[in-house]
Amino acid sequence: MNRFTLPRDLYHGKGALEALKTFDGKKAMILVGGGSMKKFGFLERAENYLKEAGMEVEVYEGIEADPSVETVMKGAEAMQKFQPDWIIAMGGGSPIDAAKAMWIKYEYPNTTFEDMCKVFGLPKLRKKARFCAISSTSGTATEVTAFSIITDYNKGIKYPIADFEITPDVAIVDPDLAETMPKKLVAHTGMDAMTHAIEAYVSTAHTDYTDPLAMFAIKMIQEDLVDSYNDDMTKRDSMHNAQCLAGMAFSNALLGIVHSMAHKTGAAFADLGAHIIHGAANAMYLPKVIAFNAKNEEAIKRYGVIADYMGLGGSGDKEKVKLLINYLRDMNDKLNIPHCIKNYGVDGLPAKEGFVPENIFLERYKEIAKNAILDACTGSNPRKVNQEEMEELLKCCYYDTEVDF
């Protein structure tokens, strides 16, 4: 038996933020990140809409990019004091992911972070509060997913929390918020969405319900992402929908080892002064993983279907896979995303010498490979991967060498 779960309500289109006026409750806590929602006036609008609905409102600000376990625990404490019956998470993937984890701790104060990370092992939520997610970026789609990514900085590892219980009750997908994204964020979140859609389509857990969502998202991203990056706001609005469709697909079909590696490399070199931004990591690793997975008979057929739907040409599946890989690499060039860790600059842009020196990478890649294999996304990858193969894949992702195994 399979399950297909989405938010009960999804409000979309320009001005969708106004849906907050219709919410029924007594207290709402709004959780936001670094300040863009306040800067562009969306936070004030959300507060006013909720007050118009008759609610007392408290704002929790300052959730960092790549939120930590400590941030989750502090936010849950604030929820315990205020006792909201609506949790409103607003912004990019980070504040929404953090708020999902805070929600668990708020409802079950004795739960530990280790308990949260038991895949599809959470108790029933909604005993105290319902959850609304309002996305401002076009990539993570966490507003419609059963996932949250939290970083344990002591271990240098990003952990996915995975359970249908944390699928939001309400998603608001208002493109007005996405129009404020800086170009680099457009690029990285857009390739995150493309990776979601492609991995969902080839996942071992894909179904007739997820395939159409994944495939249509791929086509929309192909048509809209580069123009969105180049400030076409009509395409920017369309990308906000495309990433949400990709999220609906992967939340139910799961993902693969592109995400496993992205999760486990993201904070692995934080002591050197930067993270490998999640969307950029996906963009770099996706062509390598496609080449690896294409050794699987079922996967190569499905990659061929993707290439056909994108209109890439090719007379056989092997040729179609090569064309798909070349197309994605060309997209990375157009979006100013590096092709490998060696050339990944501290600012996330291409650099002749990246911020991760070769000797440091070689010291750590085996442990990273071990952690990636244990990641929740690895189990639904179409080709099984062992420690040696994961190590080789990571080296290909560092040096930008061909995957021939």
- pLDDT tens readout for residues 259-315: 999 999 999 999 999 999 999 999 999 999 999 999 999 999 999 999 999 999 999
CA dist 395 and 164 (Å) reads 34
Is the pLDDT at 221 greater than 90, yes or no?
A: yes
Mean pLDDT value of segment 195-216? 98
The answer to whether the beta carbons of residues 383 and 292 sit under 8 Å apart is yes
The answer to whether the beta carbons of residues 41 and 177 sit under 8 Å apart is no
Q: What backbone torsions phi and psi does residue 377 show, to the nearest 5 degrees?
A: -80, -15
Say what the pTM is.
0.96
The answer to whether the beta carbons of residues 264 and 157 sit under 8 Å apart is yes
Q: Name the residue with tokens 């990433």.
A: 243
Which pLDDT does position 379 carry in this prediction? Answer: 96
Give the model's confidence band at 355: pLDDT under 50 very low, under 70 low, under 90 confident, else very high.
very high
Is the pLDDT at 79 greater than 90, yes or no?
A: yes
Give the model's confidence band at 156: pLDDT under 50 very low, under 70 low, under 90 confident, else very high.
confident
Mean pLDDT value of segment 153-174? 93
Give the model's confidence band at 348: pLDDT under 50 very low, under 70 low, under 90 confident, else very high.
very high
Beta-carbon neighbour count of residue 41 at 10 Å?
11
Which pLDDT does position 256 carry in this prediction? Answer: 98
Per DSSP, what are the bridge partners of residue 60?
31
Which pLDDT does position 246 carry in this prediction? Answer: 98
Give the model's confidence band at 155: pLDDT under 50 very low, under 70 low, under 90 confident, else very high.
confident
Which pLDDT does position 347 carry in this prediction? Answer: 94
Sign of CA dihedral 134, 142, 160, 109: positive
Which pLDDT does position 157 carry in this prediction? Answer: 85
The answer to whether the beta carbons of residues 193 and 248 sit under 8 Å apart is no
Task: Kindly report, residue by residue over 104-119, the tens digit of the pLDDT.
Answer: 999 999 999 999 999 8
Alpha helices in 68-163 (DSSP H): 69-82, 93-107, 113-116
The mean of the pLDDT values for the chain is 97
CA dist 141 and 136 (Å) reads 10
The answer to whether the beta carbons of residues 150 and 98 sit under 8 Å apart is yes
DSSP string, 218-265: HHHHHHHHHHHHTT-HHHHHHHHHHHHHHHHHHHHH---HHHHHHHHH
What three-state secondary structure class fits 136?
A: coil
Which pLDDT does position 76 carry in this prediction? Answer: 97
Both structure tokens of 325: 């890989």
Is the pLDDT at 158 greater than 90, yes or no?
A: no
Q: How far is CA 145 from CA 149, 233, 261, in A?
A: 11, 25, 20
Strand (E) or helix (H) holding 364? helix 358-374
